[in-house]
Structure 1
Amino acid sequence: MAEGVLFNIAQGIIERLGNLVFQEIALLWGVKDDLQKLKEKVAQLQAVLLDAEQKQANNNEVKVWLESVEDAVYEADDVLDEFYTEAQWRQMVPGNNKVSKQVRIFFSSSNQLFFGLKIGHKIKDLNKRLHEIASNRTFGLLEGNHENVEFVRREKVNHSSVQEDNIIGRDQDKTAIIQLLKDLDPISTENVSTISIVGFGGLGKTALGKLVFNDKEVQDHFDLKMWICVSNKFELNVLTEKIIQSATNEEPKNLRMDQLQRNLMGKIDGKKYLLMLDDVWNEDREKWLSLKDLLMGGARGSKILITTRSKKVAKITDTTKPYNLGGLSDAESWNLFKKMAFQDGKEPTSSTIKAIGEEIARKCKGVPLAIRTIGSMLYSEHQESKWLTFKNNKLSTIRQKEDDILPTLRLSYDVLPSHLKHCFAYCSLFPPDYEIPVENLIKLWVAQGFVKSSNPNECLEDVGYEYYNELVWRSFFQEEEKDEFGIIKSCKMHDLMNELAVKVAGKGSTIIDRNKTDFDAKRLLHVSFDFDVDSSKWKIPTSLLESNKLRTFLFLSQNWEWWLKSFHKSFCATIASNFKSLRMLSLNGLNITTLPKCLRKMKHLRYLDLNDNQKMERLPNWIVKLQNLETLDLSGCGSLMELPRDIKKLINLRHLILKRCHKLARIPGGLGELTRLRTLSRFVLSKSNSKLRDSAGLSELGKLKDLRGELEIRNLRYKKDMVSELNYDGAVLKEKRHLYSLTLHWMLIERENSAAVEEESDVIINSMEALQPHSSLKQLTVEYYMGARVASWFLSLSNIVNLKLFGCVRCQHLPPLDHLPLLKSLELLSLTNLEYISAEDKVKDFASDEMMMMSAASPSLKSLSDLTIGRFPNLTLLPEGMGNLKSLQELWIFDCPNLASLPEGFRCLASLKRLTIDGCPILKQRCQKETGEDWSKIAHISNIRIDDLLIG
């Protein structure tokens, strides 16, 4: 178990027992005195926990004693959780739609007596156990110390710098590798040759590979470049799929191996390519040769660049001369250390601090990862006394070998605040090179109680992001991936950091594969499964069933081919019977049709993952008894039609994730009472007028003031009576400043109702006016809106990056888009009556059935990089002014059967990289007649496709 975890859990117990509401409930149940004793016992033990954790490594007696404390403290945490959960449930007033805000117990005296006796016995037993533990002679040998063992708590700093940009001392290595890539091997008879960068962990092999891979000289030298991370899973089908995905930027399609083989050969055939295989561990030559056979179709001069720790890997891959990467020089080490340890990388004014810093850099043996980690750890601590304390107490303990930097990394872990230790150690559940979804990771931390805030109004997820950023700054995470809005989506851990996480997590966490049994079940708290689970064929290992303290049961990846699976209820029954303390449970992709009743026992659950159970049509109403539930993930439950009618009773729910729940018919009434809700990805108004009053309306959405992320509102109406019933003003979207993506979906209207639409035109426009979002919105999608114009608030969306209008068939004009300075992606689909995009640009010479995009071609749209135009049956031409879109990189036009030509202007766009035109037969015919010379004018476009005609 990570250090400090037990201390913090004990602290949580003490805080909960000191809560006024908790004390009032305890008084009603007659257990107040026993709980006060429990609080005192836990505080008594907490005082020595940190000392015990430090001494257990060298004292087996302390280690055994500490394990008994761990068992008792976790049981106490569960008992109090059960106590409070029961109390919360009984605060629900029968027949009342509102959750009582005060402690009110509505249940019979017999039930009250029964539960009071039951919980009273548990508390008395706990007090007895804790008394025995405190009476043990080991307790008397330990020192009380309430202070955490951390070296420094940094003030908040700006973590926006990308650490990969701070690569120092690799210019010569980069030049040498590029030369090797350009050289032709005079000896080899093969078109494809291999180069290996070899070096021990932390030297920066991957960083050097990225420098080379992204160099302009390298880009110009190769026709095709691909990068994949191999890590410790060298499976031919997986690697082939990854290579194809890298070559095409398309998601994998679950092809058979023979299809993958043909696909790969087609991609590389006759092309001079560069394939980067990062972090290769495979030393089985036969496996390598199987992959190599698929890669031989490239043109002469093609290269495979490998990074590896193993010289044997370099040998079996036929590398003629491996490039052995060395450490940084003393001067380079010092320069990198300065960048990480001092503001703006400036030289310290104190000669003492400088001397210590130079000694630290030397001790790191020129290993960039070690230098970064220690440097960032010391950032902003510039008192000589602190540096001297660090040198004498910490640095002096390091005896680092050249090829082993774990002792140094362990040092950076040791000085972490305890709350960050928990969060980092928890990441031992992710295998090397795993793409960790950051948003989910933070929800997992919250579910385990790792994220704390003294401010009750502060969003725990925001605090969790601060924790994450702190760990990024200290180099515990790397390779962040962000979306187009700058939101962090995923990250990875360096393989050495992964090793460190596993080491510090100890027996408390493990990743289980199909054959793994070497774990201490009784000490296990968190477990993940790194393979596809079919509950009809795979059973939970018998040895794991002894893990009665288990708090995490996490599936890391599940096969998309869910239809091949058969769900067995016994699988869930085994979980519910044996792992009653779970805070997080994954049941994703198991092909569940009905959620088994046995899961009602899981009273401690905070996070329930049910995503991609495609056949599940509804959730049982008993799920609302899982009172502690904070996250309910139903993403990809494509058959889900309804949510529990009493969902409002899940009073602790923070995240209701409904992405890709396409059949969801409505949201139950009362949802607005879940005032803690932060995520509601899909809000569906009932299509049925008879059920409208039993469903959540827009006014309930208005009560959810703290929604964030993405929101899709479906089944908006256009008739006057329905608009009044739904109360569009009640949504109050303009106050939801944390939403970055909004979709407004109107119910599809049949053609015979077009006259009615005309009559209601003012109502339709007014309803859209009432749905004004906050100006911070970054993505807006409008579907099937029936107004002749859009709302006036379009002009206020100054932060919009992506804008999509689909099926708005009566919309005749749009406001000038040059009021959207950050716009990068514009999609206009099936706007069949669109005539112009701003009143001042209307030109009478154009027929009304031709779309004119004069403002879209405005030079002020400096950021537009992606333009999509589709389903315009009468569109015959595009404006010449499109040549002014200087940032346009991708243009996609589809289903415009009368489009006869492309404007000359866009052919001069040096930024344009991809042109795709589908369903434009007249244009295709014309292109086939044109000579190659015409297309040479746009030779800078790397990908041109007109229907099935490939050009360039």
Structure 2
Amino acid sequence: MAESLLFSVAETFIGKLTSRLLEEASLALGVYDDLRRIKDTSSLIKAVLLDAEQKQWQNNELREWLRSVRISRNRNTCNRNRIHDHNRNLKPWLRQIKHVFSDAEDVIDDFECEALRMQVVNTSGSIRRKVRHYFSSSNPLAYRLKMAHQIKDINARLTKVAADRHNFGLQTNYSDTRIVQKRELTHSHIIESDVIGREHDKQIIIDLLLQDGDDKSLTVIPIVGMGGMGKTTLAKSVFNDERLGEAFQKKMWVCVSHDFELKHLLVKILNSASDSSPSENIQNFDIEQLQNHLRNTLVDQKFLLVLDDVWNENRVKWEELKDLIQDSLSVFVKWAFKEGEDKKHPELMEVGENIVQKCGGLPLAIRTLGSSLFLKFDIKEWKFVKDSDIWNLPQKDDGILPAIKLSYDQLPSYLKRCFACFSLFEKSSLLNDFEVTAFWDALGFLPTPKQGENSGDIGKQLLHELWSRSFVQNFVDGGSIFSFGLHDLVHDLALYVARDDFQLLNFQYENIRENVRHLSVLQNDLLSQISIPTGLRTILFPDGANSTPFLNNCLSRCKYLRLLKINNSRYKNLPRSIGKLKHLRCLGLVSNQELERLPDSVCKLQNLQTLDLTDCQKVQKLPNGIGNLIKLQELCITTKQFNFPVELVKLSSLEILEFNNCDNLMFSFEGIQFPKLKLLSFSYCGNLKSLPFHIIPNIETLIIIDCNMVILSMGDDNNNQIPKLKLKLIRLASLPQIVTFPQWFQGCANTLRSLIIENCENLEELPNWFSTFISLKNLLIENCPKLISLPEDVLPNLEHLIMSGCPELYRRYDMLPLDKIGTRYHISNMLPLN
């Protein structure tokens, strides 16, 4: 990791040294005492890293500032030299620590790999095979000698850098006291549409849109301003205003971002204008065909089109802001205090007013800093923010706002490390907690779970903490699934803070930076131009990848890979050498339409935690030996296989199990328990007839999409035996056999938070017992034309109600008063809004 994140690296490494698996392996190899010395030395280094990180920032950032402003040559020059002399060797020392920790982690992981392999051999192999494979498949004695030598080398290197810590006057600190004050998730009703100080602007725009005039004329209303000012928030507030639903027959929202190429823009507009997925492949249309198609779509209709995030070639210059101090202060107070708490702390409010002024009225800056001070009542902490030197850093057109950089600096080390991973995703990406948690877990970034917790629980907790600090936005809690995005400026911050170890490769002739550990390549034609660093831990392939030499090179050179994603590629198969990536934790192969098989060598990857084969529709069967993947937590399957291997029963660590486009799936899961399973999903499994009801009581998410033959009834619904369920989210889509809900659904009345029902054409009612669902907060019903009513008692508890394509419901609830439900609702006969 970058030098600024080393404390978290050290903490994770020391945690590895305490595992029982490692202890047993070190005793067998005779290096137990060496590992204990490594742990003690690492603890000494960790104790000074927080102070070193702070001094490193001062050394780099402050000297940059001092060079950029005009200063007198006397006192300030002395200050510059003093800072430089005191810390001139600090960065190389931190770099040494970074390298030795990285190498040490590889050695320790190698131990764990061998111990896991022994575990598999002991449970499934013959006596002869057990002896032959003891700690190595070839030469156990050579392996022991090699590992013992590597351990002693790591010990010596750590001892040397630990001794050098005395040269820098560093203070010791054994724990990171920067904590995230917990903000209740119910506080999420401070959503993007909760605009403070923009009511007047909103009314002006609505008046312009509703004014009488020539209906055939095209009116353009621009909303311009600097990044983070809240332009998108204002536009969303206008777009969702119910008064516009009557004035416009069609409403479209298109995010343009940097892609203003005409053809791509027309495709986006058409996709937004369509009431359902376009039946034609408009991607292959030329511009003339797209224009004609759009004219036909919009003919004789008054429409509203919002083009969000429009950039010109040089980026729109930021305009001066009006004096909105009072409105800005209201936003700050809402994020920094619980309701009414601000009145108890007038001394903090005085400092807060100065902080708000320095934010220049930018809502993003105000929210992040307000969130960072939430439930902090020590005035010293507030004054530290107000008086920080970072406010004096010069701002360029594409620079990072001082306020959000300052908020980032106050994050605990473990959150900084996780936040850096967002730099590998493209701007405007919609993310979810399952994807991101798998990412963090594969790279070893998650804190050690407490008793009773798993990686999914920890991932949700960290995302909640980032949300509470306003580092993620559009945060939607679906019960068991979180979805979210990042503001463009926050994404810029991620790129900035992660630049040493993470790289998003997007342009031709861009060099891969030295010592990069995590690489995401966005364009297929870049694969032939780049040289692959051997120390990579992460590689994300671009869509359409088909370079076999690049793939083979990755697998042969990057033996320490933890995360490999080859989504949407055109490879027909993977080489057997992938089985040598024994450190690999996550293998993503989503939507590889040409992939026909997976080599059996994949099943040698005992460390693998995620295997995603979603939408690999030519894969004939799962690889032999899949039961050996004893650490597998997430398995997503698309295959033509008829009989699934019984060895799936060995996957006792599974938390997520998804079947997608498995038309031959018919088995009943008898004898398979999956005790840790949280999510079970069946999509486009045409021959699936029944659900594994013995598994369902333990899961939190159930998804069933386009499984025409499945019967939801347990077959014994009239015996009044309602199982107790833990379900938090249910999604049912394209299930024509559903007329009403089976009674066993009542078992989750106390836990269900989100219910999504889509394209259930024969659904006629939600039973009256739905009124007992006291935890239900989110209800989405789309394209259920026969559904005529909802249980009245359900509505008051809802926070989000979205109905679309349900004409009977539309007529019944179109005039529903706003106070009937919670924070937001949208009822439309046409199009759902997000």
TM-score, L = length of structure 2: 0.80
Distance in 2, Cα, partners of 1:479 & 1:526: 26
Which of 523, 527, 533 is the aligned partner of 1:539?
Answer: 527
Residue aligning to 1:293: none
Residue aligned with 1:585, SS: strand
Distance in 2, Cα, partners of 1:328 & 1:141: 46
Q: Give the letter for the 1:16 counterpart.
A: K
Given that residues 471 and 477 in structure 1 are in contact (C-alpha distance below 8 angstroms), is that contact kept between their aligned partners in structure 2?
A: yes
Residue aligning to 1:741: 703
Question: Per-residue displacement from partner, 1:558-592 (whole Å, max 9, x unpaired)?
Answer: 25xxxxx7x45423211112222221111112223
Residue aligning to 1:524: 516
Question: Per-residue displacement from partner, 1:811-860 (whole Å, max 9, x unpaired)?
Answer: xx99983334478659999xxxxxxxxxxxxxxxxxxxxxxx9xx65674
Distance in 2, Cα, partners of 1:539 & 1:109: 34
Distance in 1, Cα, partners of 2:222 & 2:343: 39
Given that residues 182 and 465 in structure 2 are in contact (C-alpha distance below 8 angstroms), is that contact kept between their aligned partners in structure 1?
A: no
Given that residues 135 and 143 in structure 2 are in contact (C-alpha distance below 8 angstroms), is that contact kept between their aligned partners in structure 1?
A: no
Q: Does 1:558 align with 2:543?
A: yes
Residue aligned with 2:601, SS: helix
Question: Per-residue displacement from partner, 1:436-486 (whole Å, max 9, x unpaired)?
Answer: 34431222112111211341430211211111121122111113467xx56
Which of 487, 502, 511 is the aligned partner of 1:494?
Answer: 487
Question: Per-residue displacement from partner, 1:98-131 (whole Å, max 9, x unpaired)?
Answer: 99xx999846898321210121222233234334
Q: Give the letter for the 1:592 counterpart.
A: Y
CA separation of 1:588 and 1:173: change in aligned 2, threshold 3 A: same
Structure 1 residue 643 displacement after superposition: 1.4
Structure 1 residue 421 displacement after superposition: 0.8
Residue aligning to 1:30: 30
Which of 422, 425, 430 is the aligned partner of 2:425?
Answer: 430
Indicate the structure whose relative CO is greater, using CA pairs within 8 Å and at least 6 residues apart.
2
Structure 1 residue 96 displacement after superposition: 2.7
Structure 2 portions without partners, runs of 5+: 60-86, 774-778, 796-800, 817-826
Distance in 1, Cα, partners of 2:426 & 2:365: 21
Q: Give the letter for the 2:106 counterpart.
A: D
Residue aligning to 1:510: 503
Distance in 2, Cα, partners of 1:23 & 1:172: 66
Structure 1 residue 513 displacement after superposition: 1.8
Given that residues 7 and 46 in structure 2 are in contact (C-alpha distance below 8 angstroms), is that contact kept between their aligned partners in structure 1?
A: yes
Q: Give the letter for the 2:291 counterpart.
A: Q
Residue aligning to 2:744: 793
Residue aligning to 1:936: none
Which of 285, 293, 297 is the aligned partner of 1:256?
Answer: 285
CA separation of 1:575 and 1:773: change in aligned 2, threshold 3 A: farther
Question: Aligned ranges for residues 234-245 of structure 1 at < 5 Å?
Answer: 234-245=260-271
Structure 1 residue 768 displacement after superposition: 13
Distance in 2, Cα, partners of 1:276 & 1:108: 61
CA separation of 1:228 and 1:461: change in aligned 2, threshold 3 A: same
Distance in 1, Cα, partners of 2:516 & 2:149: 26
Question: Aligned ranges for residues 724-763 of structure 1 at < 5 Å?
Answer: 732-742=694-704
Residue aligned with 2:672, SS: helix
Q: CA RMSD in A?
A: 4.5
CA separation of 1:17 and 1:860: change in aligned 2, threshold 3 A: closer
Residue aligning to 1:442: 437
Question: Per-residue displacement from partner, 1:287-314 (whole Å, max 9, x unpaired)?
Answer: xxxxxxxxxxxxxxxxxxxxx7337xxx
Distance in 1, Cα, partners of 2:169 & 2:634: 43
Given that residues 706 and 736 in structure 1 are in contact (C-alpha distance below 8 angstroms), is that contact kept between their aligned partners in structure 2?
A: yes
Question: Aligned ranges for residues 92-491 of structure 1 at < 5 Å?
Answer: 92-93=120-121, 96=124, 106=134, 111-134=139-162, 140-147=167-174, 151-158=178-185, 159-182=187-210, 191-251=217-277, 253=281, 254-258=283-287, 259-283=289-313, 309-310=316-317, 326-344=321-339, 346-384=341-379, 386-388=381-383, 390-391=385-386, 394=388, 406-480=401-475, 490-491=483-484
CA separation of 1:195 and 1:208: change in aligned 2, threshold 3 A: same
Which of 605, 609, 626 is the aligned partner of 2:605?
Answer: 626
Distance in 1, Cα, partners of 2:366 & 2:46: 35
Question: Per-residue displacement from partner, 1:699-720 (whole Å, max 9, x unpaired)?
Answer: 44324343325357886679xx
TM-score, L = length of structure 1: 0.71
Residue aligned with 1:348, SS: helix
Structure 1 residue 596 displacement after superposition: 0.7
Question: Per-residue displacement from partner, 1:129-184 (whole Å, max 9, x unpaired)?
Answer: 33444455x75224142345665431353343233143211122223333444568
CA separation of 1:683 and 1:153: change in aligned 2, threshold 3 A: closer
Residue aligning to 1:580: 559
CA separation of 1:608 and 1:22: change in aligned 2, threshold 3 A: same
Point out the structure with max Rg over C-alpha.
1
Given that residues 644 and 668 in structure 1 are in contact (C-alpha distance below 8 angstroms), is that contact kept between their aligned partners in structure 2?
A: no
Residue aligned with 2:36, SS: helix
Distance in 2, Cα, partners of 1:683 & 1:245: 24
Residue aligned with 2:419, SS: helix
Given that residues 56 and 63 in structure 1 are in contact (C-alpha distance below 8 angstroms), is that contact kept between their aligned partners in structure 2?
A: yes
CA separation of 1:203 and 1:494: change in aligned 2, threshold 3 A: same
Distance in 2, Cα, partners of 1:406 & 1:683: 43
Distance in 1, Cα, partners of 2:530 & 2:810: 66
Q: Does 1:779 align with 2:806?
A: no
Residue aligned with 2:470, SS: coil
CA separation of 1:401 and 1:642: change in aligned 2, threshold 3 A: closer
Distance in 1, Cα, partners of 2:649 & 2:760: 29
Equivalent pairs counted in the alignment come to: 769
CA separation of 1:481 and 1:262: change in aligned 2, threshold 3 A: farther
Given that residues 582 and 604 in structure 1 are in contact (C-alpha distance below 8 angstroms), is that contact kept between their aligned partners in structure 2?
A: yes
Residue aligned with 1:154, SS: coil
Distance in 2, Cα, partners of 1:171 & 1:357: 24
Q: Does 1:9 align with 2:6?
A: no
Question: Per-residue displacement from partner, 1:657-699 (whole Å, max 9, x unpaired)?
Answer: 12xx2523232112222221100112999979xxx9xxx8624
Distance in 2, Cα, partners of 1:116 & 1:167: 64
Given that residues 722 and 747 in structure 2 are in contact (C-alpha distance below 8 angstroms), is that contact kept between their aligned partners in structure 1?
A: no
Please, which moves more after superposition, 117-126 or 345-354?
345-354
Residue aligning to 2:78: none
Q: Give the letter for the 2:36 counterpart.
A: Q
Given that residues 761 and 783 in structure 2 are in contact (C-alpha distance below 8 angstroms), is that contact kept between their aligned partners in structure 1?
A: no
Distance in 2, Cα, partners of 1:222 & 1:687: 46
Given that residues 202 and 368 in structure 1 are in contact (C-alpha distance below 8 angstroms), is that contact kept between their aligned partners in structure 2?
A: yes
Q: Does 1:644 align with 2:623?
A: yes
CA separation of 1:396 and 1:144: change in aligned 2, threshold 3 A: closer
Given that residues 502 and 516 in structure 2 are in contact (C-alpha distance below 8 angstroms), is that contact kept between their aligned partners in structure 1?
A: yes
Distance in 2, Cα, partners of 1:157 & 1:460: 21
CA separation of 1:819 and 1:554: change in aligned 2, threshold 3 A: same
Structure 1 residue 601 displacement after superposition: 2.2
CA separation of 1:780 and 1:76: change in aligned 2, threshold 3 A: closer
Q: Give the letter for the 2:672 counterpart.
A: L
Distance in 2, Cα, partners of 1:782 & 1:156: 34
Given that residues 768 and 791 in structure 1 are in contact (C-alpha distance below 8 angstroms), is that contact kept between their aligned partners in structure 2?
A: no
Structure 1 residue 40 displacement after superposition: 3.5
CA separation of 1:826 and 1:777: change in aligned 2, threshold 3 A: farther
Structure 1 residue 511 displacement after superposition: 1.0
Residue aligning to 1:303: none
Distance in 2, Cα, partners of 1:861 & 1:28: 66
Distance in 1, Cα, partners of 2:382 & 2:649: 53
Q: Does 1:87 align with 2:115?
A: yes
Q: Does 1:819 align with 2:781?
A: no
CA separation of 1:589 and 1:60: change in aligned 2, threshold 3 A: farther
Residue aligned with 1:76, SS: helix
Q: Does 1:890 align with 2:801?
A: no
Given that residues 764 and 788 in structure 2 are in contact (C-alpha distance below 8 angstroms), is that contact kept between their aligned partners in structure 1?
A: no
Residue aligned with 1:702, SS: coil
Distance in 2, Cα, partners of 1:69 & 1:364: 36
Q: Give the letter for the 1:67 counterpart.
A: R
